[in-house]
Chain A
């Protein structure tokens, strides 16, 4: 008990030196969802969203700092104030929108896809893997297939490889490089399914000012084609999107 009080006291003592420097916007991401966001060989966050986020911060004249957080607790930590934004390939959904706010989408509603070891798999009756708390998991639950959930995207693909699941259901753009690198071991099953309302930048509902800044910057990047350039750099997209 005394320890707690001591810590409180020392925590309070810290405030003495609290001189407010320039505000830093802390950008939360998962760091496990290439090409959106991942940790590169140097151990730093990298990917489409990191490049996009840095550009948005530059345009809005904000100082930004990247933070990684588990996908499962990424929204609770945002509303609790541990970071100020989420750029983690998070699709805009009504459920999430009830808890946090989203900017306009910076990544279009691109279809999700099923991937399996052979294309004869029954994706509406078999066992399908998806990441927990994603729109894909919600979709699989509705199709009548047996849903198995995993904490990370990596594990969903591994489940197909080791036979635990018949297929994995995820963003087509996450799966594309994996299918390509598998050398024919993994194949798409059926047609891609369009779900979600695009990927947006998540913020606390009370952070209206910050939301406006990012919204303006995203709109400007759509206008001058720089968002298209980023999208074609990181994703397999032929036609300009915006």
Chain B
């Protein structure tokens, strides 16, 4: 049916148009974005937790390391990070592999403008199938996103750890808990309620930052929307049309709004659960309304 679209009526034209191979790639790229979020969020949270623990460490060099990670990454504009860091990271990997795999390589790695490692050190190898290159590009993106958002998460968690009332720790110590026990059993379970507003903010920003994927060479929803929406002349497509970018980007807008709305609802629900039984204003309000309900 789709072999000669110019003869079709509007409805079947659109059915054919919206199911071209290119559009299928566009739909698949939504999966890429969701996968990035699903991987980046926990990794960034882990990095943030590690960063926060380092920053509050009593060993000075560890504390400096944590604090400089937080302030350096937070201070560098995202876009600079995304343009420069990924190429540098890729080169660092290949450089290490080059040193290990090709110790007898005669030529310099940096030749003028060129960065040349031995063929065996290429990552992925140039003979690797294209999907490996794409997965590798995606991994670089995950690392970059995680490092950037990990620094913000570290700052939020660091603050949350300090917000837990000192009396709680003192009580734990009075019961004879070691510092480590007090940290894991008393401080960590209680800090989330203080961290959640900051973390949910961060999650929203992360969702909105996903179009930066496009800067990293990953073919994401923005890449396809821009390409599909651009005007098409009859020579190069069976589906010529004018400048439809507005409609494609409107679709992206709806997607992002819906996604952030769903996140907001879920995060609010999580906040209510975490507040339960906590010695803060929200927890107190919950306790009172439960009492009134019982009476």
Contacts and interface: CB of A to CB of B under 8 A. Distances in A.
B125 A18 contact: yes
Nearest to A21: B127
Contacts of B230: 32, 152, 154, 158
A15 B113 contact: no
Interface of A: 1-4, 7-8, 11-12, 14-15, 18, 20-26, 31-32, 34-35, 38-44, 46-47, 65, 67-70, 73, 76-77, 79-82, 84, 99-100, 152, 154, 157-158, 161, 177-178, 180-181, 204-206
A181 B87 contact: no
Given A12-B97, A81-B122, A205-B113, 16 more contacts: A3-B43, A23-B119, A23-B126, A24-B127, A35-B235, A38-B236, A40-B237, A41-B239, A42-B20, A46-B236, A67-B133, A70-B214, A79-B113, A81-B115, A100-B113, A158-B243
A165 to B, nearest CB: 14
A11 B236 CA distance: 41
A206 B22 contact: no
B57 to A, nearest CB: 13
B112 A3 contact: no
B contact patch SS: helix
A102 B133 CA distance: 25
Counting chain A CB atoms within 10 Å of each CB, the highest count among B69, B107, B115, B214 belongs to B115
Nearest to B94: A81
Given A35-B235, A81-B94, A22 B127 contact: yes
B206 interface: no
Contacts of B130: 65, 67
A7 B143 contact: yes
Interface of B: 20-22, 24-25, 43, 46-47, 50, 65, 69, 83, 87, 90-91, 93-94, 96-97, 100-101, 107, 111-117, 119-123, 125-127, 130, 133, 143, 146, 214-215, 217, 219, 226-227, 230-231, 233-240, 243, 245
A35 B236 contact: yes
B212 to A, nearest CB: 12
A146 to B, nearest CB: 23
Contacts of B234: 181
Contact of A1 (B65, B111, B119): B65
Contact of A20 (B91, B127, B214): B127
A11 B87 CA distance: 16
Contacts of A38: 236
Given A12-B97, A206-B116, A69 B217 contact: yes
B236 A15 contact: no
A42 B21 CA distance: 4
A25 B122 CA distance: 13
A41 B87 contact: no
A152 B228 CA distance: 13
Contact of B21 (A2, A26, A43, A73): A43
18 contacts: A1-B50, A11-B96, A12-B96, A15-B101, A15-B120, A24-B126, A41-B20, A41-B21, A41-B238, A42-B20, A43-B24, A65-B126, A69-B217, A82-B90, A152-B226, A178-B233, A204-B116, A206-B116
Nearest to B47: A3
B199 to A, nearest CB: 19
Closest 10 pairs between A and B when the two form their complex, measured CB to CB: A42-B21, A154-B230, A21-B127, A43-B22, A181-B233, A43-B21, A177-B233, A43-B25, A41-B20, A34-B236
Contacts of A70: 214-215, 217
